[in-house]
Amino acid sequence: MSWEQFQILAANGIMWVAFACFIIVALRNGISLIQLLIAAWVFVTRVRPSEGARDLWHRYADLALPITVIAPAFNEELSIVQSTKALLALEYPEHEVIVVNDGSSDSTLDVLIEAFGMEETQRTQIAALQVTEVYRTFHSRRYPNLLVVDKENGRKADAANAGIGFARTPLVCIIDADSIIEPDGLLRAAEPFMYDDGRLVAVGGAIRIANGCTIRGGSLQKIGIADTMVPRFQVVEYLRAFLMNRVANAHMNTLMLISGAFGLFRRSTLVEMGGYRHDTVGEDLELVVRMHRHMRDQKRDYRIDFVPDIVCWTEAPAELDGLDNQRARWQQGALETLQRHRGMILNPRYGRIGLLAMPQIVLEDIFGPPAELLGYLVLPAAALLGLLDPMMAVAFFFVSVVFGCVLSLGTLALEEQQLRRTPNAKDLLRLGAAAVLENFGYRQINLWYRMAGIRRYFRNDTSWAAVPRVGLGKS
């Protein structure tokens, strides 16, 4: 091959790569726009105005199924007392709280014992779903509905399974120990079960970032916005994820993810499935995908629902140092789930889950990150070298960056119109600025973190780096 032929071949290759990047990013953002429109329609036509906790209590006290709230905890000494107090104070007719100390190396267990007057007790598991050893169980002298399980470290999925095994209620709520449920959040999340005809197996709820909020005694006292930009960017991300993506997917019966920070499940279904898998870093996504597969393989009619009201507040990484491990882990978990359930992709046997939902995950988590990151490099370079019409590079900038700003601002407007949980106009402007600025640096850094997750997947790296925390109400 001559040098001239090589140059022509390389130029054609660059153009095809640039074109593929443009198409993938445009398709992904086009789907996001459709989701935003569906979510807006759902809010306008289907979601009734929020009721107060007192109204919900009077309306559903006799219908509410007992719930066990399970909080896996690993090295959570900074926030575990506040989180547990919030769980005990939930406005719900009948609920038990099980905190599972997953072999913490800090003082998590000691802090719990001292703060709640715990003493050792004997409690038998109904189903042993965990693979590690349970050491001891404790009950509180002051709070009869509080149980603490101390076990060998096995990561969050194993800790959640241990808690499910000790639960004795029809419904279980799995949350992160660094999260705070709103006082009426459990009632709101449980409401779909009160109208259920037996088909509902899981419900997710909207989650917001607690960084910058005032939290005292385990309860949210005042909503605020963090002073630093990294948590603000994550507020915008969470709004897109919960008020756009999940509202739309739930409406289309294609909801594939219930956040590990808060999820409400029918306990019998979890036990039937064997609980969470222990061999994945993305246990929340894998569980819901497997739930769809399990129910459809058995040809059972079922529903997985989503409550757009905010039910939970969680602490987000305050710095990029904590964000990198989190996002790489999310990406790696998505790839593990896709590999494990690849037989569902484009399989008509699984209906809209196989034909719509699984291909969307493929687009988002396999093709999307490398295509966008590569596009930022290839298209401008190709335009400068004269290999590509400069308008193509401008168009890519529009569909990625400008379009991203539009989606974020649209979701922020949707939240303000329907939920109005941003405290004042100043904070709303700060979030609006974050919705624009995240597209100039933060978004690209996140793509790099996701590429790190892809590398970890192919290296079969199952190591787990804890996300640094400063404690709820201190960020």
∠ Cα 182 184 188 (to 5°):
110
Place of tokens 């999260």: 179
Q: What kind and span of H or E run contains 186?
A: helix 185-194
**Beta strand pairing call for 179-181 and 118-121:** unpaired
What pLDDT, in 10s, does the model give residues 342-356? 999 999 999 999 999
Rounded CA separation 183/264 (Å): 15
Tell me whether residue 217 is exposed, middle or buried, using C-beta atoms within 10 angstroms of its C-beta: 0 to 12, 13 to 18, 19 or more: exposed
pLDDT of residue 61: 66
Q: Give the residue from 215, 224, 207, 239 showing the smallest Cα distance to 36.
A: 239
Question: 325: which 2 tokens?
Answer: 């491990």
Rounded CA separation 303/13 (Å): 46
Q: Give the residue from 220, 391, 228 showing the smallest Cα distance to 313.
A: 220
What pLDDT, in 10s, does the model give residues 71-103? 999 988 887 887 888 889 888 889 999 999 999
Question: 434: which 2 tokens?
Answer: 């974050």
Instruction: Identify residue 244 by its one-letter amino acid code.
Output: M
Say what the alpha-carbon torsion angle 122, 127, 133, 138 is, to the nearest 10 degrees. -30
pLDDT of residue 19: 86
- Residue 217, SS3 per DSSP: coil
Yes or no: say if 237 and 229 are a contact pair by the CB < 8 Å rule.
Answer: no
End-to-end Cα, the chain, rounded Å: 61
What pLDDT, in 10s, does the model give residues 411-423? 999 888 777 788 8
* Mean predicted confidence (pLDDT) in 14-36: 89
pLDDT of residue 336: 95
Alpha helices in 70-145 (DSSP H): 80-88, 108-116
Judge whether residue 53 has pLDDT over 80: no
Distant-in-sequence contacts of 107-112, Cβ < 8 A, 24+ apart? 107/77, 108/73, 108/74, 108/75, 108/76, 108/77, 108/80, 109/148, 109/150, 111/77, 111/80, 111/81, 112/80, 112/81, 112/84, 112/138, 112/148
* pTM score of the predicted model: 0.91
What pLDDT, in 10s, does the model give residues 375-395? 898 888 888 877 778 888 888
Task: Give the total residue count for the chain.
Answer: 475
Place of tokens 């598991």: 125
Give the number of other Cβ atoms within 10 Å of residue 55's Cβ: 12
Q: The dihedral of CA 206, 208, 210, 216: what is its sign?
A: negative
Question: 445: which 2 tokens?
Answer: 């850094």
pLDDT of residue 359: 96
Domain edges within the chain: 13-44+366-458, 50-344
What pLDDT, in 10s, does the model give residues 139-193? 999 999 999 999 999 999 999 999 999 999 999 999 987 788 888 889 889 988 9
Q: What are the DSSP E strand ranges found in 335-474?
A: none
Q: How many CA atoms lie within 13 A of 373 on its CB side?
A: 18
Rounded CA separation 466/116 (Å): 26
Superfamily the domain 50-344 falls into: Spore Coat Polysaccharide Biosynthesis Protein SpsA; Chain A (3.90.550.10)
Place of tokens 């022509």: 8
**Beta strand pairing call for 303-314 and 200-209:** parallel
Tell me whether residue 208 is exposed, middle or buried, using C-beta atoms within 10 angstroms of its C-beta: 0 to 12, 13 to 18, 19 or more: buried
Rounded CA separation 248/312 (Å): 20
Q: How many CA atoms lie within 13 A of 114 on its CB side?
A: 8
